[in-house]
Chain A
Amino acid sequence: MTLIVLLLGLAVGVLVGLLGIGGGVVLVPAMVYLLHMDQHMAQGTSLLILLPPVGIGALREYWKQGQVDVRAGILCALGMLVGGYAGGLIAVPLSSRHLKGLFGCFLILAAFLLWRRPEPKSPLADSVAEESSRG
């Protein structure tokens, strides 16, 4: 059991670094299905896991490549802090069943958003797009 939990953490962490996400989106269903947790409990536990800077090792790798916009990142952190409070207030009184269903719908939406992103054709096109976004 303990070993499964440790390995699960490792697997989620690889996704954190690879995709630049928090990992909760994988942690929550994993805790619900593999560890048989209630939906609310899984979500609260996922938020606990995300309190320490779990992405810091991954960030270091992106930092070395200069692939970080610190200013935008700080703004995003502030926005997420405020929004997160609202989200928490909405979620706690919901029934576990509806919360689980909503989580499923959210995963479907997020999957489409992730899939849809237009990838620049070449590294050159990428750098041009970034120049124009800065200017």
Chain B
Amino acid sequence: MAEGVAREASVFVAACVCGVASGLFGIGGGVLLVPFLALFFAFGQHRAQGTSLVALIPPTGLLAFLAYARADYVSWKIGLLLIPGVIVGGILGGLLAKRLQPQRMRQVFAGVMLLLGIWQAAAAWWR
């Protein structure tokens, strides 16, 4: 029992870390939560992804969003245009995930993120 509580407490703490990244970088946080669940809590890949999607259903970014909105850092037009595509695409992606080998996909995605990250950091600081 105590062990279960400790485990749940550490899941909560790990999620807090994901939340800081979420507010700091304006992201959902799943990109950190999925590897955390898999690496630290022994979730299978599909289970980690499904659980991450549960965590993303409530508006977890609400408090962070309000901080940005107060500073007028929100483009409503673009944002509202993007929402329907993301929802429809999400259904397609969920269907695809059942058929594809997720490891390959994840590694391709990780490679793209690595390149994007290097590009962004260099564009910001390399002057």
Give me the interface of A with B, judged by CB distance under 8 Å. 2, 5-25, 27-29, 31-32, 35, 37-38, 40-63, 65, 67-92, 97-98, 100-117, 119-120, 126-127, 129-130, 132-133
Contacts and interface: CB of A to CB of B under 8 A. Distances in A.
A6 B22 contact: no
A82 B59 CA distance: 12
A117 B16 CA distance: 21
Contacts, number: 473
Interface centre among B75, B102, B111, B125 (most CB of A within 10 A): B75
Given A25-B27, A25-B28, A83-B22, 9 more contacts: A18-B94, A25-B31, A29-B116, A41-B73, A44-B26, A51-B61, A60-B91, A79-B11, A130-B47
Q: Interface residues of A: mostly helix, strand, loop or mixed?
A: helix
B83 to A, nearest CB: 6
Size bin of chain B's contact surface: 35 or more
Interface of B: 8, 11-39, 41-71, 73-76, 78-98, 100, 102-103, 105-107, 109-111, 113-114, 116-125
B22 A87 contact: yes
B28 A21 contact: yes
B76 to A, nearest CB: 7
Contacts of A67: 44, 46-47, 49-50
Contact of A22 (B30, B96, B116): B30
Contact of A87 (B64, B74, B80, B89): B64
A8 B32 CA distance: 22
A83 B23 contact: yes
Given A80-B22, A129-B44, A13 B87 contact: yes
A44 to B, nearest CB: 3
